[in-house]
Structure formats: structure tokens, C-alpha cells
Structure 1
Amino acid sequence: MSEDVLSLSQFKAEATRLLDQARDQSATLVLTQNGRARAVVQDYAQYQARERAMLILKLMAEGERDVSAGETAPQADVFAALRTRLQTQPDVQDG
């Protein structure tokens, strides 16, 4: 993944090409305004992948905290509770 820094004016002038570049090269564009970083532009698929990775890391950290605090349960109990919960939820109909 590469990171390019350019002014907001440059981005406006070449937005379509730069968005294609961000998609094709997995590049992140840092946009500046008055010489300071103002925004980041990246391909939406790349953004989604990063968000999923961050969620996984968050869940891992929460799990580690639970284990450290002794807040654990046997796997069979967890899955049984989830099955019960899913079976008691009403079916959602597409409307």
C-alpha cells in the first residue's frame, strides 16, 4: 500500500484519475489544505477490508481482557445459549 500526499486543489483537478489510481494500486491519498493534512481518500473495498481488520483486532483485545479477568465460559455453553437465543427470535420477513 502506498501513500501519496497532494493538495486538495490537485485532487479536484484530477479526481477521476486519482480515484482510479487509489483503486488499482491500493494507494491512500492524503489531501492537504493550506499545507496541512486534512483528509484521507482510499478505495472503498480497501476501506472495508481495513474496517474488518480493525473489528477483528478489537474483538481479540476484548477476548484477552475477558480471559485476564477470568470471565470465560465453556464453548458448549456459549453455543447452546446462542442457539436458544436464535430460536426464540421472531423470523424477519422481507417487506
Structure 2
Amino acid sequence: MEIAVRYSTHVRPISYLKANAAEVLLDLAETREPLVITQNGEAKAVLQDVATFEQAQETLALLKLLALGAQDIEAGRTRPARAVVERLRSKVSDR
């Protein structure tokens, strides 16, 4: 798994995107590497395939849950696992 992506090797001007949109989309799906689009020499957008985008969103959601959990721990909003399991068992047995 490659962690650091060198975006400098995946930079194209907007005119390239306009002229080669279908090829760019195929390349994005095949390589799953983002493409930086420039306008007037300045980076303006990053394109990526949908699967990679969805994976990134899932990863961000998990990281957010971890951060919220860490905040709960720091604030003392925790319960012992045994107490939680007992509570769940009593709810199930009440049905």
C-alpha cells in the first residue's frame, strides 16, 4: 500500500481535461490515483475515481468516530464493558 502520493506527477491543465475527458476518466478508474487540475498555472481541483472517493469518505467517518470516542474517554463519559453487556442481556431477556 502506497501511503505518500506524489501529486506533482499527476498534474494537468484544465485544457487537457477538456480535450481528453474520456481518457482521464479511464485513467482515474485504472490507476486510482488523483489528478490535480490547474487553471492559469494554479491548482484548482483534484479529480479522483468514485471508488477511491467512497473509500476515503468511509475512512474519514471511522476516524471521526475514533476522535469522538477519545473525547468521551477524556470527558469521563464511559462505562465498564461488563456493565454494558449486562444491560444489553437484561434488555434481550425482557423481550
Q: Which bin holds the TM-score, normalised by the shorter protein? A: 0.7 to 0.9
Query: Which of the residues 36, 44, 47 maps onto 2:42?
Result: 36
1:73 equivalent in structure 2: 79
Q: Distance in 1 between matches of 2:47 and 2:70?
A: 33
Percentage identity across paired residues of the two chains: 37
Note the 1:1-95 alignment, pairs <5 A: 2=5, 3=7, 4-75=10-81, 77=84, 80=88
Q: Which runs of 5+ in 1 are unaligned?
A: 85-95
Q: Which runs of 5+ in 2 are unaligned?
A: none
List, as ranges, runs of 4+ consecutive aligned residues in structure 1 with deviation greater than 2 Å: 73-80
Using the size of structure 1 for normalisation, the TM-score is: 0.75
When normalised by structure 2's length, the TM-score is: 0.75
Deviation larger for 14-23 or 66-75: 66-75
